[in-house]
Each structure stands twice: as structure tokens, then as C-alpha cells.
Amino acid sequence: NAGVTQTPKFRVLKTGQSMTLLCAQDMNHEYMYWYRQDPGMGLRLIHYSVGEGTTAKGEVPDGYNVSRLKKQNFLLGLESAAPSQTSVYFCASSSPLGGGETQYFGPGTRLLVL
Amino acid sequence: AQSVTQLGSHVSVSEGALVLLRCNYSSSVPPYLFWYVQYPNQGLQLLLKYTSAATLVKGINGFEAEFKKSETSFHLTKPSAHMSDAAEYFCAVSVSGTASKLTFGTGTRLQVTL
């Protein structure tokens, strides 16, 4: 049982390049989330999904797109990377229980945009 | 919308001393409250959570937190700090009906000295 895994662990991009971050979970969770973590700002929600084929915007969605074609996978895309997107990206998942669900986090992807 | 304020971005304690990390929340509806811990270069791990049952919540590694509605607080404590407690701690809030989206505080880095 691997929990939540993220690919890649680290990536360097040039401004304007594109990339996709992959999140996979093996806990059969309905809900999945993408956060970014920046120094002094905690974690901020980028996009989330409440089920296969559905996505919704979080607090800081601009410059990102997501897709949830399979229940176990949640992809985060950067179409044209900018230096402001240099951050650590975390994926999380949870199972709906009517409130107060625990989110389980992946190990993170460190992204540097030059 | 809900929010979380963590007082003190850095806290330093001696090994064996009391750990107190402060968290205040704002929410117009009953909140669910969480404390997560992040060790260097790792993802977030749940320490404990409040889900409207007992107001004193016990978590892993000897940590506990008390929900005080009148003070809108959810402070994290541990009677005796250990070197292995050095990490960053995040308080977070969610409310019912929002797909368990978490709003995080900015984090408190705990340093434990000999």
C-alpha cells in the first residue's frame, strides 16, 4: 500500500515550457487535491476533484489545469511555466465521511522555473 | 470563508520543556480543525484533528490540542519536547459541505535544543 505518490520528485523548467505532474493514490479515495507550498505562506489549494471526471478551482488556480480521467490519478498541468510557479507541489486525497475527513499527502514535487 | 492564524513562525524550546504552538481560527459555521506536521523534505502527516466530539484531542507522538470555542483557538501542546519533534507544524480548518477543502495557517517551525 503506497498511499499517495507523486511523479517527478524534482524538475527544472525554463520559462514558457510545459509539464505535467502526476499524482496517484491506491486508497480508493473519491477526493483529490493539489496544493502549492511557498515559504511563509503555508499550503494553498490550486485545484481539487470530488470524483472521476470532475474538477474544481481552489484558491490559486491561475496558470494551472487539471484532469481526473481515472479515480486513482490526478494530473496537474502547467501550460506555460513562469518563475512565480517555482514552488513545492503536494497532492492529497481523502474519502468523504460527511465532514472532517483526513487528507493524506504525497511526498511533494519540487519545481524550479528559471 | 474560514481562516487560520498561527502566532509565531518560529518557536524554540529546550529538550524536555513544554511545547505550545498557537492556532486561532475564524469560521462562521462549526469548524473541523487539524494539526499536521511536516518533517524536512517530506509531505504532511496528520497529528490530530477535532471533529466536534471531545474538545480535548489526543494525537500521535504525545501531542494534544484543546478546542476552545469561546477563544476560537486550537493550540497544540506536548508536555516534554524531544529532539525528534523538530519540524514544521501546520494548523488547518475545514467546514462541512466543502469537499473537505483545507485552509492552512502559515506554519510554525519548531526548534528543539539540548
> pLDDT tens, A52-104?
999 999 999 999 999 999 999 999 999 999 999 999 999 999 998 877 889 99
- Looking at the complex, does the CB of residue B104 fall below 8 Å from at least one CB of chain A? yes
Which cell numbers hold the place of A3? 498511499
For residue A63, the distance in angstroms to the closest alpha carbon of chain B comes to 20
Q: What pLDDT does A111 receive?
A: 97
Q: Pick from B102, B103, B106, B109 the residue to mutate for testing the A interface (most A CBs within 10 Å).
A: B102
Distances (CA, A) of A39 to A42, A51, B88, B100, B105: 7, 30, 11, 24, 12
> pLDDT tens, A39-49?
888 999 999 99
Q: What pLDDT does A7 receive?
A: 97
Return d(Cα B101, Cα B93) in angstroms, integer.
8
Which conformational region is residue A30 in: left (phi greater than 0), alpha (psi within -120 to 50 degrees), or beta? alpha
For residue B22, the distance in angstroms to the closest alpha carbon of chain A comes to 15
